[in-house]
Amino acid sequence: MIQKREPSQNQHQPEPNSELRSQFELLSAYLDGEVTAAERRQVQQWLESDGKIQKLYARLVKLRHTMRSLPVPTALVPIEDTIEQVFIKLNRTRWRRLSLVGGTAIAAMALAGLGSIFSQNQSPVPQLAQSSPPEALMVALNKPPIEIPKPAIRSQKSEVRSQKSGVQSW
């Protein structure tokens, strides 16, 4: 069951964790020199009066000093050599792709050539054109094989009436 949290009288005050987090961020920015003059005065006031902030500040200074004193790893291979190797590998991949496509096209052409040689020297196109002629088509213009009904003729009066009334008859 979910319980509703009653509104407290101190809603405008931030929670302790968020206040500590904002103090930590401001201290870190103070160490990096990224604060305004008002924020600098605020941090200096905290450092003069608050023991927790003094301990946190000392830990941050020590952490910053330790991080700066860590040795920077040196590259085993110069960066120029690494870049050159990357481009060589890219070119090699491009040539492999190109040779694969070219080889496939050559193989398809060879198969088509062999197919035309072994198909008894006849291609399918002329065979289709040499098919037997269809039965004679008889067209009777004057005497059709079935009687074609004549369309019904409407009088002009009925058309005028239907146009005036807006009704169309089909």
Segment 31-55, tens digit of pLDDT:
888 899 999 999 999 899 988 889 9
Cβ proximity of 29 and 39 under 8 Å: yes
Domains in the chain: boundaries = 16-69, 74-119
Q: Exposed, middle or buried by CB within 10 Å (0-12, 13-18, 19+), for 27? A: buried
Q: What is the pLDDT of residues 117-160, one digit of tens each?
A: 766 555 555 555 555 666 666 666 677 777 777 887 766 655 55
Over residues 87-120, the pLDDT tens digits come to 898 888 888 888 888 889 998 888 887 777 766 5
- What is the rounded distance in angstroms from the CA atom of residue 53 to the CA atom of residue 25? 12
Q: What's the CA gap between 100 and 106, in Å, rounded?
A: 10
pLDDT at 8 over 60: no
DSSP letter assigned to residue 155 = P
Cβ neighbour number for residue 23 with a 10 Å cutoff: 18
CA separation for the pair 86, 81 (Å, rounded): 9
**What CA–CA distance (Å, rounded) separates 88 from 67?**
37
Neighbours of 28 (CB within 10 A): 16
